[in-house]
Structure 1
Amino acid sequence: MSDARYRLIGSTASPYALKLRGILRYRRIPFDWVIMTRELRAATRHLKPMLIPVLQYPDGSHGAETTALAHDLEVRHEGRSVIPEDPAAAFLNDLLEDMADEWAVKALFFYRWWDPEDQEYVARWAGEEWSVFDAEPGSAEEAEAMRIRQVGRMPILGATQENRALLEESYRRMLAAFEPHVGMNRYLFGTRPSLADFAWYGQFSQLAIDPTPMRIMRAIAPRTDIWTRRLDDASGVEGAWHTLDRALEGAAGALLSLAGELYLPFLAANAEAYAKGAERLRIRVWGLDYTLSPFKYQVKCLDRLRARFAALPEDARARLSGSLDEAGALKILAGGTA
């Protein structure tokens, strides 16, 4: 590839935009960071679904969905990969990235739009940068429109009183998984960051700023708070991948346990409910209930993880299977139910 520049169109209020921005910075891929405007939203309206961020390639074409974009950049650019070389670790990287993108965001959405203090803070910020309303940019009317829009989506995304206890507990357990293991150049799979690190960074970048989850993070996970700020720009980080066993001794292993206890049972229950045409999925984790209408996209998430696990070389699958079984994840990934 030449040094022609990309353009990343996003918002500082988007965990996914900051995830991809962090990857581009770490990989030293030339790009310009641009906040979404009405004009840019109109120019990218052909992308379905319309997501933030949008990556404009040097040839002028556009792409969306950060996981697909990150893997496409791996093909287009050599060096400083965010995918571990060991296939077994690469699969675990896929699983932990998926959990950040699809579950950690639930805690983020809950905290962001539950309390009036958080609503007011984020609505002003996100309203101006997402450019989805006709009101004057930066106006009180725009902020209120954003607040009403997002609060109205809370039941759809499971941010309800019924689910509150599990969402709050899962946030605390996610922080606990990271806190003993992060630090200067200490990442999930070595002394260099992975795609999963950037996915978690994206979610934590917002949780570390929004008022309520920020206070929780700084009280119980101060090292994670600092790690999150450092990962915003890791362009100067050099490092190496750990062995799978060593990675599993740290945050990657702790997060795998959460995947087995919470995330994969959620995906399995979602897939089962969707297949049956049920109106609601229900799980009970740590003695706490969670219920939600099933989503087709998260059926695809589980299918994709199962396919990648099945496609692993036999030796890689064998090296990983013991840890997956201990975490309670193997049965679901192999095609069973929770």
Structure 2
Amino acid sequence: MSEALTLYAWEVSYFGGKLRSYLRHKGIPYTEVRPTIFDYYFKLKRRTGVAAIPVVVLPEGAWLQDTSEIIDFLEHRYPQRAVIPATPVQRFSAYLLEMWGDEFWIPTGLHTRWCHMEENYAFLEQDMAENLLPGWPRWLQDKASAKVAQHMADFLTSTGVVPEQFELLHRWTVQQLDWLDAHFATSPYLLGDRPSLGDFGLMGPLYGHLSRDPWPAQHLIKPRPHLKAWIERMNERGRDMGEYQPGDTIPDTLLPLLSRLLTDMLSYLEGNLEQLRQFMLVHPGADSWPRFIGSTEFSMLDGRYSRPAMPYVLWMYQRMMAVFRASADDERDAVRQWLREQAVERLLDLDVPKLKRKGLCAVLDR
């Protein structure tokens, strides 16, 4: 523990909020580096294969990219203050909640940031300018910031953030935040008195975007004091903690959210799987796949949300299922019974081809 990791991240980054919170909770020493535009597009891309943050460099020199794989690796290396529950239903829920934060909240993060530019842009421009070209003339910093902002604006349609879906997405966001605020009024973390993998997954959107950007901070986080307090707790170092809720149970206050999550997640995964099957029929020998394929539609509140399909989310599902299948028979039975009670047992039986992660994409693991 004496040697520090290097964390390449920005405060404005979605997944930086997830990983930074995790490192602080674990007490893993790290030095944070705010990558410049040259780091981002040259050094990081050369080392990891993609221009993406956050990235961790281990003391021995290895470079790791993708927060889920980074946390998997660090949990083995630093087992203290573990973030994976030992009991089956809570463990499965933690992985599910991580996937929820990583994947389901991306449209909300983009919508609350890039569709409220009148309130947000000056703050974002300053943040990005200081990171991208520190010490350079301000006009060049502003030009670089505008280029990044345009790139992210172009990304909106890739997550379904289009005007005809704004109202549904906003209502979904408000409902989730209300449920979370009510839950954190009685429980310090999602599954009890200690944070789990699911808490860190949720910190991506709720810290990096919603609690820092002026519009969502004012309109979505400030009115929900218990949620705001959870965000602050999650960024503290070495906070005292208790245990997960006893008896492998889910807190009652989390059940409405989790029940809805399970239904929507199953619909989303099935839609992505169908698009992947169609893509593989048309491109049977492809060694690489695009990040987005086709378009899928899935349940959201009282409506249907449409966005391009992503094979990556099926890799996330496969990672969760590998943990499930490695469990003892009685533990798998407990998870199956719990999902049967929620009428989503088939979540355990999706026939996903074997995948591996390749940068920001997933491809067949031949």
**Global fold match (TM > 0.5):** yes
Q: Secondary structure at the match of 2:158?
A: coil
Question: Does 2:331 match 1:316?
Answer: yes
Contact 1:105/1:203 (8 A) holds in 2: yes
What aligned pairs does 1:39-188 form with structure 2 within 5 A after superposition?
39-41=38-40, 42-46=42-46, 47-121=48-122, 123-125=124-126, 127-128=128-129, 131=132, 139-183=141-185, 186-188=188-190
Q: How many residues align structurally?
A: 334
**Offset at 1:54?**
0.8
Flag the 1:13–1:229 CA change in 2: closer, same or farther, 3 A. same
Amino acid in structure 1 at the alignment position of 2:74: L
**Offset at 1:187?**
1.0
**Offset at 1:118?**
4.6
Structure 2-normalised TM-score?
0.82
Structure 1-normalised TM-score?
0.89
**Offset at 1:39?**
4.6
Amino acid in structure 2 at the alignment position of 1:247: I
Larger deviation, residues 93-102 vs 296-305? 296-305
**Offset at 1:132?**
8.9
- Equivalent residue, structure 2, for 1:296: 311
Question: Does 2:3 match 1:4?
Answer: yes
Contact 1:6/1:58 (8 A) holds in 2: yes
Contact 2:192/2:243 (8 A) holds in 1: yes
Deviations 1:128-170 (CA, angstroms, capped at 9, x unpaired): 366399x856732223222222111111121112322332122
**Offset at 1:55?**
0.5
Contact 2:112/2:215 (8 A) holds in 1: yes
Alignment partners' CA distance in 2, 1:273 and 1:294: 7
- Equivalent residue, structure 1, for 2:345: 330
In structure 1, list runs of 5 or more residues that go unmatched: none
Flag the 1:23–1:152 CA change in 2: closer, same or farther, 3 A. same
- Equivalent residue, structure 2, for 1:208: 211
- Equivalent residue, structure 1, for 2:245: 242
Contact 1:87/1:316 (8 A) holds in 2: yes
**Offset at 1:334?**
2.4
Flag the 1:218–1:38 CA change in 2: closer, same or farther, 3 A. closer
Larger deviation, residues 158-167 vs 16-25? 158-167
- Equivalent residue, structure 1, for 2:297: 282
Contact 1:126/1:146 (8 A) holds in 2: no
**Offset at 1:13?**
0.4
Q: Secondary structure at the match of 2:309?
A: coil
Amino acid in structure 1 at the alignment position of 2:31: D
Larger deviation, residues 102-111 vs 328-337? 328-337
Amino acid in structure 2 at the alignment position of 1:315: D
Question: Does 2:212 match 1:197?
Answer: no
Alignment partners' CA distance in 1, 2:301 and 2:163: 17
- Equivalent residue, structure 2, for 1:258: 260
**Offset at 1:265?**
1.0
Deviations 1:167-189 (CA, angstroms, capped at 9, x unpaired): 21221122122112215971122
Percent of matched pairs sharing the same residue: 23
Flag the 1:256–1:26 CA change in 2: closer, same or farther, 3 A. same
- Equivalent residue, structure 2, for 1:224: 227
Alignment partners' CA distance in 1, 2:190 and 2:70: 21
Larger deviation, residues 2-11 vs 179-188? 179-188
Flag the 1:293–1:329 CA change in 2: closer, same or farther, 3 A. same
Alignment partners' CA distance in 2, 1:327 and 1:48: 40
Flag the 1:302–1:238 CA change in 2: closer, same or farther, 3 A. closer
Amino acid in structure 1 at the alignment position of 2:36: T
In structure 2, list runs of 5 or more residues that go unmatched: 280-292, 353-366
- Equivalent residue, structure 1, for 2:24: 25
Amino acid in structure 1 at the alignment position of 2:274: E
**Offset at 1:31?**
1.0
Contact 1:256/1:324 (8 A) holds in 2: no
- Equivalent residue, structure 2, for 1:34: 33
Alignment partners' CA distance in 1, 2:165 and 2:326: 35
**Offset at 1:108?**
0.7
Match of 2:270 among 268, 271, 279: 268
Contact 2:90/2:248 (8 A) holds in 1: no
Contact 2:245/2:251 (8 A) holds in 1: no
Contact 2:296/2:309 (8 A) holds in 1: yes
Alignment partners' CA distance in 1, 2:7 and 2:79: 19
